[in-house]
Amino acid sequence: MSNEHTPGPWHATGTYQRERHAPHYWRSPVLAQGRVIAYAFGHTRDKAKANAALIVRAVNAHDALVAAVGRAVVYMEEELAQFGWLEKEITDELSAALALALEEA
């Protein structure tokens, strides 16, 4: 079984419908490669839309953000070792965020 996610880009369809089994919820499909791969839910149509948009932004930005944070951590650690002018807490926070982004679900 592969741990690879569906390649992007992902996008929200902009269509919304009430959830059949929970009519007080709205759902908005998230698609990739022309297929629905997830639904975002909300108590209102606007919440479902916002949740779908958040999922899409997070997935589509993930690889670029991981790469940028990884490069920043390496650079900052080198600067810290060489000059000692950076506060270690910043590199620790970036390293923790990077680990969280790469964590297996």
The answer to whether the pTM exceeds 0.85 is no
Q: Please say if the pLDDT value at position 41 is more than 60.
A: yes
**Average per-residue pLDDT for the chain:** 86
* Number of domains composing the chain: 1
Cα dist from 2 to 23, 24, 26, 34, 39, whole Å = 35, 35, 31, 20, 22
Domain, as residue range, for 54: 10-102
With contact defined as beta carbons under 8 Å apart, do 57 and 41 qualify?
Answer: no
For residue 73, tell me if it sits in a domain: yes
Write the Ramachandran bin of 14: left for phi over 0, alpha for psi from -120 to 50, otherwise beta.
left
> HSE on the CB side for 28, CA within 13 Å?
23
Which of 41, 39, 23 shows the shortest CA–CA distance to 31? 39
For residue 3, tell me if it sits in a domain: no
For residue 2, tell me if it sits in a domain: no
Tell me the pLDDT band of 67, cut-offs 50, 70 and 90.
very high
Query: Of how many residues is the chain composed?
Result: 105
pLDDT digits (tens, 9 = 90+) for 9-18: 999 987 677 7
Q: What is the pLDDT of residue 2?
A: 57
For residue 19, tell me if it sits in a domain: yes
Q: How many CB atoms lie within 10 A of CB 86?
A: 15
pLDDT digits (tens, 9 = 90+) for 79-97: 888 887 667 788 888 899 9
The span from the CA of 73 to the CA of 44, in Å, is 40
